[in-house]
Amino acid sequence: MKVLIVEPEKPLRLELETFLSSESYVWESTSNYQQASEKISLYEYDCIVLNSQLADGNALSLLKELNESQKSDGLLIISTINSAEDRVRALDLGADDYMTIPFHFPELHARIQAIIRRKKFNTKNKLYLGNLVIDFKTKKVQVWNNDIALTKREYEMLLYLISNKDKVVSNTMLSEYLWGDETENFESNNSLAAHIKNIRKKLSQAKAELEIKNIYGVGYQIIEL
């Protein structure tokens, strides 16, 4: 899952980065409104963790932009302000949740997961597609109670394709989701295709009622058989 951290205070930003890494999230971070706005316009995130007290005072502007863009990115507000008025205003502007600083990181993780399950998959704990079952808590992927051993990267790619199952996902979209603005430094199209090939093989061997179709010249789409 991919998270954008928008946090002006470096110590907390580093703590968030370290924690998200320990929980195997793909993440990017920034400290100000302008960089956050650019990233949100260019890339897709499963959840955005936004401090309502940005130094440039534009957190509410970012909230409004997200709401008006009708993107599906989840949004979790964090703030040192613990008032009902601020919580209500943030939620009214489109935030999915609100946490007061300081907070426990395991709770942050649980809330991010809850937002992603609700926004991306409209489910609570498990996703069912054909005969495939994905347990978000354990990160297990199964067919008929038999585990499919996916790497972290393969798991993220499969979830992204499933969350966009009504769309054709281009190589660019998939790469930018997984690696953001560092895409060119990490993976080539050949490597991306190799990951897709491995997922296809594992789904086929498990007799999953799913197929990743190659839409020639456009990209990939996952379909139920």
One-letter amino acid identity for 69? S
**CATH classification of the domain holding 141:** 1.10.10.10
pLDDT at 166: 86
Indicate whether 143 and 183 sit together in one domain: yes
Indicate whether 50 and 87 sit together in one domain: yes
pLDDT at 60: 78
**Contact between residue 159 and residue 1 where contact means Cβ atoms under 8 Å apart:** yes
Domain boundary residue, one of 86, 121, 156? 121
Indicate whether 18 and 111 sit together in one domain: yes
Domain boundary residue, one of 93, 121, 149? 121
Give bridge partners of residue 33 from the DSSP assignment: none
- Give the integer Cα–Cα distance in Å for 33 and 31: 7
> Within 13 A of 101's CA, how many CA atoms are on the CB side?
18
**CATH classification of the domain holding 24:** 3.40.50.2300
Please count the other Cβ atoms lying within 10 Å of the Cβ belonging to residue 162: 16
The boundaries of the domain holding residue 102 are 2-121
pTM, two decimals, is: 0.82
Q: How many independent structural domains does the chain possess?
A: 2
Query: 10-residue block means of pLDDT along the chain (225 residues)?
Result: 93 95 90 89 91 79 78 89 88 90 94 90 84 91 94 92 90 82 59 90 95 89 91
The C-alpha R_g of the chain, in whole angstroms, comes to 18
Strand residue runs (E) in 59-177:
74-79, 97-100, 126-129, 132-135, 140-143, 146-147
> Within 13 A of 30's CA, how many CA atoms are on the CB side?
18
Indicate whether 137 and 207 sit together in one domain: yes
pLDDT at 185: 52
Give bridge partners of residue 169 from the DSSP assignment: 220
pLDDT at 222: 94
Of 18, 30, 23, 31, the residue nearest 1 (C-alpha): 23
Domain boundary residue, one of 81, 97, 121? 121
Query: Following DSSP, what letter does each residue of 85-151 receive, concatenated?
Result: HHHHHHHHTT-SEEEESS--HHHHHHHHHHHHIIIIIS-SSEEEETTEEEETTTTEEEETTEE----
pLDDT at 48: 95
